[in-house]
Structure 1
Amino acid sequence: MANIIIVGCGRVGSQLATLLSQGDGNVCVVDRNAAAFSNLDRNFNGNTLQGVGFDEDVLVRAGVEEADVVAAVTQSDNSNLMVIEVARRIFHVPHVIARLYNPARERAYMQLGLDYVCGTSLVAEEIFSKIMSGHGSHLDTFGDFEVLRFSIDLSMTPRGRVKVGDLERNHGIRIIAFERRDGSMSSIPTRDSVLYHGDSVLACIRHDLLNSFSVYMMQR
């Protein structure tokens, strides 16, 4: 179960919080303005905290010491940068993501190794995809589809295995290739190919199915 902190509860932050709170994660939304929490959908199932997102005490109260992800989506590039730098450098949060307004800063963010989303269209959905793809390696995005590589978790399935055709039919995904856990074999699958618990899988998954399918992705 992922612990996620979202700093900023405007249009993007509130939408992102609602998307994530519908899954199995624990979501806490931080905003300096308590009135901003009215942007949250009535289906939001998480916690809110008033405060400055880059304040260490506020982040501790939000649960940063156990956080898996911190996403900074305020309307200020400087604030977003401060939030994720505090989160990763002081609290060692494994995955931090910032919303970036000024494209001129992209090069600097890349040089610093910071994960970011630039632009105003579909920002919440893109950050949501990045958070979900933290279960494995996010390789690319094609329209409504994500290409991911991950180790498949079949611990809850009978005998820890499943046919590729059944997995594709039941979950609306496409398995592109797979490799055995011990590296003994890699292959382009047929519908009758069998996947075993821990096998490495290259898959194309529709964006809106990432949340439900994440139960099959082993945490890195």
Structure 2
Amino acid sequence: MTTTSNNWLYNQLFTNWKTFEIFYVLCLLLVQIAVFIAVPDSTIGMISGICGVLCLVYGMKGRKISFLFGVIQCIAMTYVAWISQAYGSFAMGIVYVISQPIGWYLWGKTQETKSFAPGTRKKVCAIAILAWAIGWFILAQLGGQLPYFDSINFVISFIAQILYIFKYNENWSLWIFVNIANIVYWSALSIQTLTGDTTVGSLGANLSQVALQAALLFNSIYATKVWSSGEANNEGGTL
């Protein structure tokens, strides 16, 4: 059993990597470290960034080990969101933590990626827009920061995560939208912290999320190609 586990872990971590993928993963990780070196006031933020990169990169490869890194990243991100009063991000952090073991289980059962029919895709889009508007209203009533952006992270991320754990290709299109919104959101919070307009959260934690979302945006764009081509099929493993 130990040998089997070791083989599975080795295959999940190190096999079938393209030179380009190795290069860009290293670059994305170095960005997280560079942000921490520049503003070393949030170790939790750096942990969230590094594990977030590893989670989504292995997710791009269609590998179950993505969810192990995901648990660590989600717990760290939930803490960062709480101290920054990003209540939508905080709520989604809790959902992410819960979804990791579910994704682990489902990726052991479903190996093939799949896509919606065009009509279903339009319905999902309409539901997402309506849910975003409702989330915006609720978060505004709670006094959260930038609720129109935070609602994207709360609502659209929830839908994207469901599609992700069920291996629908469309999840990456939603993540691209979420990542762009989050770059704007966390950049705005970083500027507010830097200029003294708010004392909520920390500059290092906010900047770590900017760097993470930029890395995830690049990964989401690349993952769209990988999943659509079928390269991510049968990578999940059965352990």
TM-score (norm 1): 0.30
Structure (1/2) with the larger helix percentage: 2
Q: Which has the larger radius of gyration?
A: 1
TM-score (norm 2): 0.28
Structure with the bigger RCO (C-alpha within 8 Å, sep 6+) is 2
Structure (1/2) with the larger strand percentage: 1
